[in-house]
Structure 1
Amino acid sequence: MLAPTHMIAGQAAFIAVSLGVGHAPTLPEAWLAAAAGLLPDLDKRHGIVGRLFPWLSEPLEYRFGHRTLTHSLLASVVLALMLWPLLPRGVWLAVVAGYASHPVADMLTPAGVEWFWPARWRCVLPGNERYRMRAMGWGELACAVLLAVVTIPLLNMAKAKPGTGSVIAAAIGDIAAARERYDAEKGANRWTLRLEGRDNLTHADVSGDYPIIGSWQGAGFLIRTPEGPQSVCRTGDCGWYVDSAVAVKGEAQVTTTRQIAAEHTSPAALGAALEPLEAVGEVYLIGSLTARGIEPKAPTVAVTGDSVNLIFAAPAVLEEWGARPLRDLLLTVQVRHVPSVTTPEVTLDDVTAGVIPAELRPWLLKRDRISRDR
């Protein structure tokens, strides 16, 4: 086949693979795939690549012949393994897909390739020679045009990076693949979990689309439901058991964090400090504190004795804690908001918000004034 046909085939293969694995191709990667589609012809000293590297192409052609070693499955596998730890994912996909497309395209010609080299078998597609394409013939031209036309919608689909990401993973509905993608890309977008499953206690069907709050344990999710936060996974340890799950990427958002470290405060004081943050987006509390009499509330509030752990807990949970003192706070406040919004800082005001009893506040304020007057 001619060089332009191999370049088109290399781009088409790269874009198809990108769509299959959920990678959004870039223009430089597409051009790299086209160039990689020419590399197997390094064993042809009069070819485009061969003339660029005569010191390598001449011995390759003399020792092994054209369409043998460099066109083999072995060469594609070795190249993929060698470059895997060295190149970014998109560049690696471009090089490997572009390279591997070349021998497959050459199988469509009458001569075929020694794909299983060092075995000397010639592999061809299709088996009937009448339907194979001759170089510079109408068949090759039609193939090149068809690949170019098909590449356009594939490129649009791959660049859009469908919400389901990997077409293969979406078809399988593997929650582990959904979790892996979410962990790799979370933070810059809202996410929805499209799941099929059932409640672990009632066995009721819970299939539907639910906003993802965050990761849960090793391979699960914490989602928002009309009844409140729920944990989902493929074991009995979660509230819901998932048969099939796909992580769907939504609109853009920014995740901002604020830290709270305080020796003591109250639910009212903490709630008042969080109100400015709630005005700009969704707020979640992650961390630990010490308090007596807090009731556990799975899956976001875990209690062991006086130790309380918060796992993406919403500020609304503070309203259930009454006026009891909160001590030893180490919290990360996560705010998810639209990109154009500025997130304020967190300020705790214990004197006016309820940690100090109302009866003592005048005396403390009076003492402060006396100290300043002195």
Structure 2
Amino acid sequence: MTAPTHIIASISAISFVSLLVPSYNLGLSHFIVGSIFSMLPDIDNPRSFIGRILFFFSTPVDRKFGHRTITHSFLFLFLITSVFYLFGFIYTRSLVIPLSLSCTVFISYFSHLFFDSMTKQGILAYYPSRLWGVFPRRASWRIRTGSKIEILYFTIFTISSLVFLPLGQSGVIQAFNRLFQSGGVDLRLKEFELKKEKAAFGFTPSQIDSLLSAGAIDPKQASELKSKFYEIEVQLEKFKKDQGLDE
């Protein structure tokens, strides 16, 4: 497949993952990294977009290994992801911070391998084994690079990205709640507000502090009232979060 198709396919893939994993928050850096690493397997082809830019690397790799061999393998996929994570760890001194972008590297690079396996030639996915990786197995069902079918794929990936991105930013549950929020949710919110009023006898924390300052209640009473108020407040916030209303 061509570079534009690989780029939009990777964006579609990481957007889909962000839709399933709310903690996988996408930013500009994810799209930049994803775009770069979605093209990187073609570093073995001097005629590819990235191969022309990094000709000093692509030419010797092509001569030594050939196109769609070592850089299109699962071995190279794990190697690249591991090296990226290692550099991220060295730079941030954190085991957690580099994870998000490292996942982007893995997803984007893998998407390239997967979609290239759908072409007529396939890839040496199991390098150094000479076993070619193709999907589907029947050659007549696979596509040619630059064909009309690839243009169709490009269109599908573009539409998918436009759908997955906004959903992924807010999460599936939150999106559905915004679309199909029922009166039952509003009723529950009102119940929580009533519970707060009853727990603190209708007083807010600031009003309780005022009563304490005025000597109307003692510190123990003030503490108990505020404790009950905040307990209901925590329950309310949890309910809002579960319903996707915490923004």
Q: 1:81 to 1:21 in 2, by over 3 A?
A: farther
Q: Could you tell me which residue of structure 2 aligns to residue 134 of structure 1? A: 144
For 1:33 and 1:52, locate their aligned partners in 2 and report how far apart those are by CA, in whole Å.
Answer: 17
Q: Which has the higher contact order (CA 8 A, sep 6+)?
A: 2
Unaligned runs of 5+ in 2: 89-96, 175-187, 189-216, 239-247
- C-alpha distance after superposition, 1:81-106 (max 9, x if no partner): 23335263332222221111111111
User: Could you tell me which amino acid in structure 2 is paired with residue 18 of structure 1?
Assistant: S
- Matched residue SS, 1:112: coil
The answer to whether 1:10 aligns with 2:20 is no
Larger Rg: 1 or 2?
1
For 1:111 and 1:37, locate their aligned partners in 2 and report how far apart those are by CA, in whole Å.
Answer: 19
Q: Could you tell me which residue of structure 2 aligns to residue 282 of structure 1? A: 230
Q: Could you tell me which residue of structure 2 aligns to residue 81 of structure 1? A: 82
For 1:154 and 1:50, locate their aligned partners in 2 and report how far apart those are by CA, in whole Å.
Answer: 30
Residue pair 1:36, 1:98 contacting (<8 A) in 2 also: yes
Structure 2 length as normaliser, TM-score?
0.66
The answer to whether 1:157 aligns with 2:167 is yes
Q: 1:125 to 1:68 in 2, by over 3 A?
A: same
- TM alignment of 1:65-76, pairs within 5 A: 65-76=66-77
Match of 2:128 among 109, 118, 122: 118
Greater helix share, structure number? 2
Q: Could you tell me which residue of structure 2 aligns to residue 327 of structure 1? A: none
User: Could you tell me which amino acid in structure 2 is paired with residue 31 of structure 1?
Assistant: I
- TM alignment of 1:159-174, pairs within 5 A: 159-163=169-173
Greater strand share, structure number? 1
Percent identity of equivalent pairs: 26
- C-alpha distance after superposition, 1:111-132 (max 9, x if no partner): 0000000111111111222221
CA RMSD of aligned residues (A): 3.1
Residue pair 2:20, 2:172 contacting (<8 A) in 1 also: no
For 2:76 and 2:21, locate their aligned partners in 1 and report how far apart those are by CA, in whole Å.
Answer: 22
For 2:222 and 2:145, locate their aligned partners in 1 and report how far apart those are by CA, in whole Å.
Answer: 75
Unaligned runs of 5+ in 1: 165-208, 210-266, 285-311, 313-335, 337-374
The answer to whether 1:50 aligns with 2:51 is yes
